[in-house]
Structure 1
Amino acid sequence: MFNISHVHHVAIICSDYLVSKRFYSEILGFRILKETYREERQSYKLDLAINDQQQIELFSFPSPPVRPSRPEAQGLRHLAFAVENLEDCIKHLNQQGVITEDIRLDELTGKRFTFFADPDDLPLELYEL
């Protein structure tokens, strides 16, 4: 049996590379590790550090097909980020023009969370530790 230690990265394909690059690096504050342009694919690949273990790989491709995410489409439902102070994060996002949903309470854990969307309407969650 093999042992998985953690999630290494999540790959996201965006429709507008510069808009998404700004969103993930400047608004969410993920550190840019490496940016690569692949001429043969007309594609950017941006490696972003969430922390010392997890990363986001942001890709751009010419005319990617739209993937439905709402209402509750089959497949990956959302990407959740753990935060220490939910109100501070919501305030920051709102100041950047990012709309957040009302704070909800996880009835199973008692933890608070909210949802918001990236520039391509990918559902993202902030989950308070």
Structure 2
Amino acid sequence: MNISGIHHAAIIASDYPRSRRFYTEVLGLEIVAEVYRAQRDSYKLDLRLPDGAQIELFSFPSPPPRVSRPEACGLRHLAFSVPDLEAAVQSLRHHGIEPEPVRVDEYTGKKFTFFADPDDLPLELYEA
């Protein structure tokens, strides 16, 4: 096996229009494709990050809530790399999102912070 990277991460939203706005307008991700799947009463929105990786944003009728944040078994959080953490934090604040205090990774010396999407999914910004 020769894995070359992460292709996509999939996220299920409880309020599709709200999450669509968050990921496109607040985080600025590019829309690749959007389809409505009538047989599932579900939207699927493909979003591209600048490095080519993607996020698939889904809607489903009445999805169950996340078990706990962030220590439930499974995906812990999704981290985005940013060139300037302070600028990214200011952008979040401009949109009314208050991230956690900035911390420094004790092993790499890099700055990072956490914030949440509209469904309280933990997201991280990591200064690259």
What TM-score do the two structures reach when normalised by structure 2? 0.97
Percent identity between the aligned chains? 64
Runs of 4+ aligned structure 1 residues displaced above 3 Å come to: none
What TM-score do the two structures reach when normalised by structure 1? 0.96
For structure 2, list consecutive stretches of 5 or more residues without a partner in the other structure: none
Name the CA shift for 1:103/1:52 in 2 (closer, same or farther; >3 Å): closer
CA distance, structure 2, for counterparts of residue 86 and residue 69 of structure 1: 27
Residue 109 of structure 1 is matched in structure 2 by 108
In the alignment of these two chains, the number of paired residues is 128
State the superposition RMSD in angstroms: 0.9
For structure 1, list consecutive stretches of 5 or more residues without a partner in the other structure: none
Matching residue's letter, 2:76? R
Deviation at 1:52, TM superposition (A): 4.4
Q: Does 1:11 align with 2:10?
A: yes
Deviation at 1:67, TM superposition (A): 1.3
Q: Does 1:54 align with 2:73?
A: no
Name the CA shift for 1:46/1:121 in 2 (closer, same or farther; >3 Å): same
1:38-77 pair list within 5 angstroms: 38-70=37-69, 72-77=71-76
Deviation at 1:71, TM superposition (A): 5.1
